[in-house]
Structure 1
Amino acid sequence: MAITFKVNHPVTTDQFIGLLESSSLGERRPIHDRDCMDGTISNSNLVVSAWDDELLVGIARGVTDFHYACYLSDLAVHQHYQRSGIGKRLQSLTQEQLGPLCKLILIAAPAANSYYRRLGYTHNDRCWVLDAGVTIGN
């Protein structure tokens, strides 16, 4: 298996959805809303991807200003390729695209907490989420 990594290489909506379906992220993303998934991948300004020939096997999808904060919105690795270092490499390559003061910020699934802790992330309990459909102040 010769995995190649690419920065901001085009990823189609179908490839993105297929990867999410083949990883644990498909359960927590609106993969049946094609318009949402299309907007999600096409409006990301930093996408690092992993490929086994033409098959998308990993993605680190970020939204960033490149200087202060990079929100790593998705980190997904195809289930047959997990535990091979792809996720770690995706994050490392993401960091390489960012300025020296830029932080990686993500929301982890509970089962992934120990993974991120081992990589050097610190837990922050100050995250707040406003769900879609909730009006500010009500």
Structure 2
Amino acid sequence: MNITYETAVIPKPEEVIELCVQAGLKRPTDPERIALMLKNADLLVTAWQADKLVGICRTITNWVWCAYLADLAVFTGFKSAGIGKEMIAITRQKLGDQCMLLLLSVPTAFNYYPKVGFNKEDRAFSIERTQ
């Protein structure tokens, strides 16, 4: 399996929508909203098999204190190949040692994140979106 990782390539919104739907990650399915999510990301790591998007890791950060890993999605058939772990590693390398990486997990991924170095926290709060 030949996977390449990119940090300077912004995929098409339709590619991201297909990936998220296939991976079971609930995200908007309108291309305009996805395009804005991609445009406003501070760090985007993508995984490709030839010209096929097979993974995405989207982060919002201030680069010196904290970073929010907003999306991590990998095509189902590629989930055991270490793609998510590698995208997280690239993200951490790009952020540097002084920046904390945090996220809100979907319930189906609770067991995954401790395996790739995240600590489970019980001190988060959120206000849900209305749309």
Q: TM-score range by the shorter chain?
A: over 0.9
Distance (Å, rounded) in 2 between the aligned partners of 1:110 and 1:21: 16
Secondary structure, aligned partner of 1:97? helix
CA distance in 1, matches of 2:64, 2:8: 18
Contact 2:10/2:38 (CA < 8 Å) preserved in 1? no
Alignment length, in residue pairs? Answer: 131
RMSD across aligned positions (CA):
1.5
Check conservation: 1:23, 1:77, Cα contact below 8 A: yes
One-letter amino acid of the counterpart of residue 95, structure 2: L
User: Which amino acid is the alignment partner of residue 11 of structure 1?
Assistant: P
Alignment match, 1:29 = 27
Q: Which residue of 1 aligns with 2:16?
A: 16
The SS at the match of 2:37 is helix
Aligned to 1:51: 48
Which protein has the larger Cα radius of gyration, Structure 1 or Structure 2? 1
Whether 1:5 and 2:2 are equivalent positions in the alignment is: no
Distance 2:27 2:128 in 1: 14
Q: What is the match of residue 93 of structure 1?
A: 90
Does 74-83 or 120-129 show the bigger shift?
120-129
Give the AA of the match of 1:2.
N
Q: Measure the CA separation in 2 of the matches of 1:127 and 1:8.
A: 31
Q: Is the 8 A contact 1:16 1:41 kept in 2?
A: no
**Correspondence list, 1:50-69, <5 A:** 50-69=47-66
- The runs of 5 or more residues in structure 1 that have no matched partner are 134-138
Residue 8 of structure 1: how far off its partner (Å)? 2.8
Deviation (angstroms), 1:48: 0.4
Greater CA deviation, 84-93 or 62-71? 62-71
Contact 1:68 1:99 in 2 (8 A): no
Percent identity, aligned pairs only?
33
TM-score by length of 2: 0.93
Unpaired runs of 5+ in structure 2? none
